[in-house]
Structure 1
Amino acid sequence: MGATTTEIRTPESLRPRKTTQRAQQFDQRDGKLHLNEIPIPSPKPNELLVKMACASLCHSDVMMFEPNDQGLILGQNPVTLGHEGTGFVVEAGSGTTGFQPGDKVGFLPAMDCCYECYQCKNVHNLYCKTGKVNMAGFGCNGYFQEYAIVDARAAMVLPESLDVYASAPLFCAGVTAFHGVEDAQLEPGQWAAIIGCGGLGHLAIAYAKAMGLKVIGIDVVDSQLEEARDQGADHVFNSMTDKDYVDKIKEITGGGVDAAINYTASKKAYDGCPAIIRPGAGKLVVVGIPLQPLTLNALDIAMGRFKIIGSNNGTNHNMRPCIEFSAKHEIKPHLTFFQLEELPKMIEMMHEGKARGRLGVRFD
């Protein structure tokens, strides 16, 4: 777990001492990261200039370096990576209310959308009726830089008990993990299988246990399964090395889990989910996004063998319940800190499955 801190930053200490900053930027022309010196931006109306405390790495960032057919589009080139972070308010743009310089804040990456249409409130900002949404780290500069612009409407002041450095993963991984479990709509005592026990899954296990569920962690990396145990999983299985894991899960649960919640980017992991779901009563919750489209048996769906539910990575309208739940139940990410220049190493570790929990850059 990341170390906690009660550090208070004064507004004056947060202000930039120069007009440029270091930023880790992805360049489509060579498909590589470059540590560039770029201008420090100024906030426009409804925006905050934030001194970054921590930016943590998400698998979606790593997808930049992989071929994919899931609609991952960059809006500028080069673009600063990172869409998961926390920091200190430096300056608020005109029309912004509820924030003061020095406030410790977390935020989600949507920019330029209206935040008020049906899609923004009930689906996702990606589908804003204005068609103008940008996502930090993809369509516009993200958080692996010293100062970042965030939309105040997608930000919140952190609860006092949450550490500004250690809480960065909550603002993507946490919100995603929380709603993946909550959207399954299980009752205390029911069985949830968490598929993928890494950056998202280890938090999902903690949330599921706090909600009173019985949890089975499934992964192909033993270190991730160790993290699953640490987070309170009742049982764990390596689906690659344990050839009998399906039968064991059916025996433990009396026929199958009530929900299989998949946080992986593995199509093979999705292919294996139906076998462990309780027939007629179970659900497959789709959270992780593989490089390839999913293949499902239409007969299983039509005949009601299981139901399929989608659970997205959160909006400003469902961010606060996750953060407040995390504070109330003292749920903290397993976070390892690095320096900004070490981002390539972080990406390599995640790509090779060597990361336990979440990896983040700490800005001091």
Structure 2
Amino acid sequence: MASNGKNGTNGLKPTGKTMKAQQYHASDNSMHLNEVPIPTPKPHEILVKIACASLCHSDVMLFEPNDQGLLLAEGGGGVTMGHEATGYVVEVGDGVKGLGVKDDFKAGDAVGFICPMECCFDCYPCREVHNNYCVTGKTKMQGFGLDGYFQEYAIVDARNTMVLPKAMDVHAAAPLFCAGVTSYHSIEDCKLKPGQWVAVIGCGGLGHLGIQYAKAMGLKVIALDIAPGPLAEAKNIGADHVFNSLKDTNYIADILSITSGGVDAAVNFTASKKSYDAAPAIIRPGSGILMVVGIPREPIALNALDVALGRYRVMGSNNGTCYNMRSCIEFSAEKGIVPHVEYYKLEELPEMVRLMREGKAIGGRMAVKF
């Protein structure tokens, strides 16, 4: 496999017209390994040979009842899953240089990218909020409304793409392009000062990165989970205290004691409504933040009186935009923050989904390595 052009690009180009893809079919709510055409990039797009595609909990939400706004592809056909990946540039659309992108993409470059497509990238929501709210109303997300990355080749919008720092491993970097950007900004956007306390709720794919980012920013970390594996991993990567919120019956009182009144921010990476209900109890009154990251199947409930009286503030963090992606990647390279990844084959994606749905992933990310 070529990397950054060092070994040439001949091995990157397709040798046929089709490829294998793991696709979700809404018609039977299941996954199928299909043979699909290799796409051709439009003028503003890049054809990428996928190096690694990692599994996010949002992918698993495809199979679950939810009212949180996942937009699927129209029609009866399947859509290739996956919205978190890295790869190698194969072909650059002839209009990319006119987009004003920072990188001069060349065949063989190792790149990462995020998934919004068909938006304008220039309106206020695209620049300052999220492409999902583009004023055109045309945004689609790869892996949901458009084909994603659990396939050997994919097209990506050049504006969503960046060349990886030279020292960054192309395979291990895949989770940074959703989990990394989300977890980095969920910590950074709290604007805490070194020495303040942050609670990381959920220590899996996003949480294990959130802990690393928090420690790199000089924060003190309390990690909460309900499984021993992720908690052990949290301790190994630097969490100051860990609690099993299911078994440690006095964990709220213990946290209030350790922090002298509560954490300065509680960042919830889980899809558990129960964990959202419990989070305000550990937040420092008057100055603390509840950072919403994980998306439960049903809407979360907030106490309006608590919010109105300023008991805590509510913020959110998401899978990022092209305007805040680069700061996360460069910080990760500078601080040596690396996702913990367990690799699988494309044919094993159903097993990866099963493990995630059953809560049996130890911590970190599961990914398909091509």
Q: TM-score, normalised by structure 1?
A: 0.97
Q: Aligned pair 1:190/2:188, yes or no?
A: no
Q: Which residue of 1 aligns with 2:82?
A: 82
- Structure 1, 129-138 or 333-342: larger mean CA deviation: 129-138
Cα distance, 1:158 vs structure 2: 0.1
Among 164, 171, 180, the residue aligned to 1:174: 180
Q: Aligned pair 1:205/2:211, yes or no?
A: yes
Amino acid at match of 2:143: G
1:199-228 CA-partner distances (Å, limit 9, x unpaired): 000000000000000000000111010111
Say whether the 8 Å CA contact 2:21–2:33 is kept in structure 1.
yes
Where do residues 64-83 of structure 1 align in structure 2 (5 Å cutoff)? 64-76=62-74, 77-83=77-83
Instruction: Give the match's secondary structure for 2:337.
Output: coil
Q: Identity, % of aligned pairs? A: 62
Q: Aligned pair 1:37/2:44, yes or no?
A: no
Say whether the 8 Å CA contact 1:6–1:163 is kept in structure 2.
no
Q: Which residue of 1 aligns with 2:101?
A: none
Distance 2:125 2:9 in 1: 36
Q: Which residue of 1 aligns with 2:349?
A: 343
Q: Aligned pair 1:360/2:358, yes or no?
A: no
Amino acid at match of 2:20: R
User: Taking structure 1 as reference, are residues 9 and 118 closer, same or farther at Cα in structure 2, changes over 3 Å only?
Assistant: farther
Q: Which runs of 5+ in 1 are unaligned?
A: none
Cα distance, 1:102 vs structure 2: 0.2
Say whether the 8 Å CA contact 2:290–2:312 is kept in structure 1.
yes
Amino acid at match of 1:170: L
Distance 1:156 1:88 in 2: 11
Distance 1:93 1:340 in 2: 27
Cα distance, 1:310 vs structure 2: 1.5
Q: Aligned pair 1:291/2:289, yes or no?
A: no
Say whether the 8 Å CA contact 1:52–1:85 is kept in structure 2.
yes
Amino acid at match of 1:328: E
Amino acid at match of 2:140: N
Amino acid at match of 2:352: M
Instruction: Give the match's secondary structure for 2:31.
Output: strand
Say whether the 8 Å CA contact 1:191–1:216 is kept in structure 2.
yes
Distance 2:133 2:127 in 1: 10
Q: Which residue of 1 aligns with 2:100?
A: none
Say whether the 8 Å CA contact 2:290–2:315 is kept in structure 1.
yes
Cα distance, 1:8 vs structure 2: 3.9
Cα distance, 1:313 vs structure 2: 1.7
Q: TM-score, normalised by structure 2?
A: 0.96
Q: Which residue of 1 aligns with 2:142?
A: 136
Q: Which residue of 1 aligns with 2:9?
A: 11
Cα distance, 1:303 vs structure 2: 1.1
Distance 2:293 2:365 in 1: 17
Amino acid at match of 1:278: R
Q: Aligned pair 1:317/2:327, yes or no?
A: no
Amino acid at match of 1:82: G
- Structure 1, 287-296 or 195-204: larger mean CA deviation: 287-296
Let me know the Cα RMSD of the aligned residues.
1.1
Among 149, 153, 163, the residue aligned to 1:157: 163
User: Taking structure 1 as reference, are residues 75 and 242 closer, same or farther at Cα in structure 2, changes over 3 Å only?
Assistant: same
Amino acid at match of 1:249: I
Q: Which runs of 5+ in 2 are unaligned?
A: 98-103
Cα distance, 1:7 vs structure 2: 8.8
Distance 1:8 1:269 in 2: 47
Distance 2:179 2:106 in 1: 26
1:264-313 CA-partner distances (Å, limit 9, x unpaired): 11100000101000111111011111111111111111111111111222
Number of aligned positions between the proteins: 359
1:84-139 CA-partner distances (Å, limit 9, x unpaired): 00000000111113200000000000111111111000000001111111110001
Where do residues 159-308 of structure 1 align in structure 2 (5 Å cutoff)? 159-308=165-314
Instruction: Give the match's secondary structure for 1:273.
Output: helix
